[in-house]
Amino acid sequence: MKDRVLACLLVATFLAAQAEAQPPASAKHKDPDAPCYRWPAVDMDGDGVFDRIDHCINTPVGCAVDKWGCETDADHDGVCDGRDQCPDTPAGMKVDANGCASGQRGQDTKGTVEAPQAVTPTPPRPAKVSPAVTESERQLVERGRIRLENVYFETNSAVLLPESESSLDEAGSALEKFPDLKVEVEGHTDTRGSSAYNQRLSQSRAEAVRDFLASHFRLRRENLTARGYGETRPETRERNDEEMLRNRRVELRVLNPEVLPKNVKVEEKK
């Protein structure tokens, strides 16, 4: 134990002596403000600021730095002072690796920099050609109503099946062209089941279609309402499965048809 204490005292004495010792005249790096060891001082990036206080220890060679060793850029062009061959570049001009804009190359950077020449504006892109008119858009403009074909739900459920998306996407794209439209999403069922059950099911399915359109297209949700009609508005007499399928449907009915074009017949493009 005594040997350990003695060793610690010797180390402390040696360190204190080193702190008081004057660095030799040949010392390359001396840090006169260092609290303990004045030399050898360390300056890894060679910017003249010792690592003891250098906040930017990887300054590129040749860059001027502030008292904390961080490079300066007086004209804010992204090229540091010291390496910037055009230190007075006007704000906002694009410069090369030497800090010079195209109008400054080959000039005396101490003189007045010529203003950049006017750049010929890029001609505007041609307007996009409207996509081919769809069946949904034809029905919307001519009838103020879209009968959604191929929209399917899980059995006895209001969960839309993935194969419904193509028809919904076509209808939603048509509605987007008339942002002021107010539309009622109508849900209809066949006559199987009780009237009360069919009413609830048709309402839930109408709401599911409304929510899909509102979340996938630039439509105002407040302009979309959902209403279930159950079995009260059949299209057919349900004499076979195909006619029952026709009665299980969703339709989009325009509530303010005055915002649609008048007396227009839309030809579907092939």
- 115-146: pLDDT as tens digits: 556 656 666 655 444 555 899 999 999 999 99
How many Å apart are CA 160 and CA 143, to the nearest integer?
Answer: 26
Range 135-259: architecture per CATH: 2-Layer Sandwich (3.30)
* The predicted structure's pLDDT at residue 71: 80
Q: How confident is the model at residue 54 (pLDDT cuts 50, 70, 90)?
A: confident
Model confidence over 56-83: pLDDT tens digits? 877 788 888 787 778 888 878 788 888 8
Comparing 91 with 243, the larger pLDDT belongs to 243
Cβ contacts of residue 142 below 8 Å, gap of 6+? 264, 265, 266
The pLDDT of residue 16: 55
Mean pLDDT lowest for which of 21-30, 175-184, 194-203? 21-30
Mean pLDDT of 171-194: 96
Q: What is the 3-state secondary structure (H, E, C) of 170-210?
A: HHHHHHHCCCCCCEEEEEECCCCCCHHHHHHHHHHHHHHHH
Long-range Cβ contacts of 75-79 (<8 Å, 24+ apart): 75/99
List the 224-228 sheet strands across, edge first: 145-148, 249-254, 183-188, 224-228
- Asked if the model's pLDDT at residue 18 lies above 90, the reply is no
Mean of the pLDDT values across residues 38-50?
Answer: 66
Q: Which two tokens stand for residue 269?
A: 């493009």
Contacts of 227 (CB under 8 A, 6+ apart): 184, 185, 186, 187, 203, 206
Domain ranges within the chain, ordered by starting residue: 29-92, 135-259
Please name which of 268, 267, 231 lies closest in space to residue 249, comparing C-alpha atoms: 231
pLDDT at position 127 is: 42
At 2, list the tokens: 């005594």
**Six-digit token string for 235:** 């299209």
Can you give the pLDDT at residue 125? 52
pLDDT at 92: 75
What integer pLDDT is reported at residue 108 of this predicted model? Answer: 47
Confidence of residue 169 (pLDDT cuts 50, 70, 90): very high
Q: Checking phi first, is residue 201 left (phi over 0); if not, alpha (psi -120 to 50) or beta? A: alpha
On whether the CB atoms of residues 40 and 29 are closer than 8 A, the answer is: yes
